[in-house]
Amino acid sequence: MPPVIDKEKCTGCGICVDICGQDVFFGSKDGELPVISYPEECWHCAACVIDCPTQAVRLRIPLPMMMLYK
Amino acid sequence: MKEEMVEADVLCIGGGVAGLMGAIRASELGAKVVVAEKGNTLRSGSGATGNDHFMCYIPEVQEKELDRILRSRYLSWRIRSRDFLNLWLEKSGEMAKLWDSWGIPMKYNGQYEFSGHAIPGEPLVLIHYAGQDQKIILTKKALSKGVKILNRVAGFELLRDGSIVGALGIDTREDRLIIFRAKSIILGTGIAQRLYPGPTPGWLFNLAFAPTCTGDGQSLAFRIGAELIGAERVHRHRGPKYFARCGQATWLGVYKDADSNPIGPWPTKIDRRYSPILTELAPEVIEEYAKSGKGPVYLDSAGISDEDYEYMKHWLRNEGNAGILNYMDEEGIDTRKRPIEAMRYGPIGGGTIRINVKSETSVNGLYAAGDNGYGIGEMPGAATHGWIAGESAANYAKETESPSMKRVEGTIEEKKRLLQEIQTREAGASWQEVNIAIQQLMADYAGYAGGVGAGSVRSQIMLMTGLTYLRRLKEKAYNTMVARNQHELMHCLEALNLLDLGELVFTATNERKETRGPFIRSDYPFTDPALNNKELILKKEDDKVVTRWEEIRR
């Protein structure tokens, strides 16, 4: 569930933890790989994706939100 | 729980666009300003990762069109009355230029790009702007003016002794209560969501606007006796099915049926200046098509030029839809080849705080701006009312002594007890239980046009039955809610706010004994001409909701 963090790329800078409007990273510790405590509270605004300095974050869109097309 | 006292001339509750604009202006005028924001002002609120339309009047570009603009359909929807229209004419262009000077790109290729929310023949009253980083820019501007920003602080109660004296907030990460002593308060907490179900049952955060916006300001203001309006009206946004986001006027394409025939005349071919606004002009079509057996409605970009497709993606990204665009890229969804199904999302409602052109509420020292205080709607409303609220609050604070908290000590103690009970109960209801229970009562007893089953019926007996159930739920929520940490405590307080707004919606919906446009009453199918140009005002008096109708000057 969103967001998904690439452990190889993440430097633990904490920007995503700092900025998330919904605080899905609640409980993360400084300098460590962020924990995703409340994935179901993600708004998919992509702030963490946009602001990650090492492009380590992507969103995995949950299946109930799968876009429907012809 | 640790306690901390914070002093301010002007306290902004909510650090979205409106709150930050108020903070910047009040600080410029010499006030000591504090912003309390549940998230982080860099990326919080419904404008977190952007917006792309700004409704404004720029005289040097549009003066020749003024007569037409004044008759604009879009303005009549988004601006409450004549005095707010005059304010918009005077200020909205100035706000756009101010933002441009601060680094929020309000022009496209060096020009104001008027586009969207209109059909050919109608005046264009919105400019496209690149708002992806608007919150970062506004935050930096506020800090440069000396504003103190307290991120991860949720304001949950206002303190009033005749006039405003302060507020209470909780830290959403650490066990800490913040007692604000403030001469004035600007509420900028956004739209009221999570009162009704969203498109995915039980998935509480799949919403078009920021799910943190739960009508806190409306509820806080109401509890201390401020007047609210429009609690009987609900708004239902439209967009891609099940992936709830704003941006319906940014997509370029034609709405078509399952056989690829255009639906309705708005428009039948793609023009980048005119959005496909079938879903704005006749949103009920989507559900009526399905109900009548005609099948789904699709947004189809077939035939669009490559430049226009890139143009659309550019603005969708700036509208805060990077999440959707990245997903479409990953999944190979291209609306030129794969038309996407559209839907109407669940209702948003709960009323807004009644303000005047100075952003003043009916309580001395209390101001509101943005989606929680309606005069001018949308982004220019957040910018203009925020800015003016900052001026009004700073000027008020200059004339006001530092308030005494003596007579609100009882309220503070009572609220501390409430927090402690929620934090220390061994077992009980989670915030999700309460929130979902609210949503099912609202949907089934204060339903909405286009709903199915019981949800589409709104009548006095259903409304009053629902209100009784909701009040019972409220009592249970107060007596049984449990939070395991500060994050959950924040959500518990949001749920309690939603319960207040739910009561307002039931009361207001019952009071409007007519059917008018999208407002449908099963027991009053006709429009009551006596209510033309009137708005319903609600207020708490002696623990009861009182209502009255007032004339709107058009």
Are B439 and B293 within one domain? no
B434 alpha carbon, distance to own chain's centre: 22
User: Do residues B501 and B442 make contact, with C-beta atoms less than 8 angstroms apart?
Assistant: no
- Considering the domain boundaries, does residue B417 fall inside one? no
| Nearest of B191, B194, B212 to residue B202 by alpha carbon | B194
B253 and B273 fall within a common domain: yes
Same domain, B113 and B45: no
Query: Contact A38/B338, CB-based, under 8 Å?
Result: no
pLDDT at B452 over 50: no
d(CA B57, CA B69): 9
Question: What domain range is B194 assigned to?
Answer: 2-49+85-93+131-235+348-407
Over residues B267-289, the mean pLDDT reads: 88
Compute the distance between CA of residue B240 and CA of residue B244 in angstroms, rounded to an integer: 7
- Among B257, B245, B343, residue whose Cα is nearest residue B295: B257
pLDDT at B389: 98
Total tally of structural domains belonging to chain B: 4
Task: Compute the distance between CA of residue B472 and CA of residue B113 in angstroms, rounded to an integer.
Answer: 52
Q: B364 pLDDT exceeds 80?
A: yes
Check if the beta carbon of residue B505 is closer than 8 Å to that of residue B231. yes
* Domain shared by B217 and B243, yes or no: no
What is the pLDDT averaged over residues B251-278?
A: 91
* Upstream peptide bond of A53 is cis (omega within 30 degrees of 0): no
Predicted confidence (pLDDT) per residue in A38-69, tens digit: 999 999 999 999 999 999 999 999 999 999 99
Residue of chain A whose Cα is closest to the Cα of B324: A44
- At residue B12, φ and ψ (nearest 5 deg) are -100, 120
How many angstroms separate the CA atoms of A30 and A24, rounded?
Answer: 15
* CATH number for the domain that contains residue A36: 3.30.70.20
Cβ–Cβ < 8 Å for A3, A33: no
Whether residue B137 is predicted with pLDDT greater than 50 in this model: the reply is yes
Strand segments, DSSP code E, in B172-301 are 176-187, 228-229, 234-240, 254-256, 298-300
Say whether pLDDT at B453 is over 60: no
B136 to each of B103, B147, B150, how far by Cα in Å?
10, 14, 15
Chain B residue at shortest CA distance from A19: B40
Q: How many CA atoms lie within 13 A of B443 on its CB side?
A: 20
Encode pLDDT of B257-270 as tens digits: 999 999 988 888 89
Residues in A closer than 8 angstroms to B339, CB to CB, are: 69-70
Amino acid present at B124: L
Q: Are B89 and B55 in contact (CB under 8 A)?
A: no
How confident is the model at residue B293, as a pLDDT? 93
A10-A13-A17-A19 Cα dihedral, nearest 10 degrees: -120
Is residue B554 predicted with pLDDT exceeding 90?
no
Query: Has residue B297 been placed in a domain?
Result: yes
Q: Quick one: B515 and B468 in the same domain?
A: yes
Task: Give me the mean pLDDT over the B77-83 stretch.
Answer: 94
Q: Are B48 and A22 an interchain contact pair (Cβ–Cβ within 8 Å)?
A: no
Taking 80 as the threshold, does the pLDDT of residue B343 lie above it?
yes
Residues A24, B390: Cα–Cα separation, whole Å: 31
Q: In the predicted model, what is the mean pLDDT of residues B228-244? A: 93
Nearest residue of B to residue A45, measured between CA atoms: B323
* B381-407: average pLDDT: 98
Q: Is B80 on the interface with A (CB under 8 A)?
A: no
Given a cut of 80, is residue B84 above it in pLDDT?
yes
What average pLDDT does the segment B288-312 reach?
94
Pair B332, B298 in one domain: yes
List of chain B residues whose C-beta atoms are within 8 Å of the C-beta of residue A47: 43, 48-49
pLDDT of residue B201: 80
Name the residue type at position B535: E
Residues B430 and B519 in one domain: yes
Print the domain residue range for A18.
Answer: 3-69
| CA B129 distance to own-chain centroid | 20
Residue B271: per-residue pLDDT: 92
Residues B310 and B296 both lie in one domain? yes
Question: Residue B540 domain-assigned?
Answer: no
- Residues 133-172, chain B: which have Cβ within 8 Å of A? 152, 172
Is 80 exceeded by the pLDDT of residue B440? yes
**Distance, in angstroms, between A50 CA and closest chain B CA?**
8
**Nearest-by-CA chain B residue for A3:** B323
Averaged pLDDT, B266-276: 88
Q: How confident is the model over B55-74, as pLDDT tens digits?
A: 999 999 999 999 999 999 99
B120 plus B136 within the same structural domain: no
Strands B2-13 and B33-37: parallel
Given a cut of 90, whether residue B202 has pLDDT beyond it is no
Looking at the fold, whether B13 and B157 belong to one and the same domain comes out as: yes
Structural domains counted in chain A: 1
Angle of helix B17-28 relative to helix B378-398, nearest 10 degrees, comes to 30
Q: Pick from A19, A22, A47: which is nearest to B205 by CB? A: A22
Count A/B contacts: CB-CB distance under 8 Å. Answer: 119
| Domain boundary residue, one of B298, B317, B344 | B344
Does residue B449 register a pLDDT over 80? no
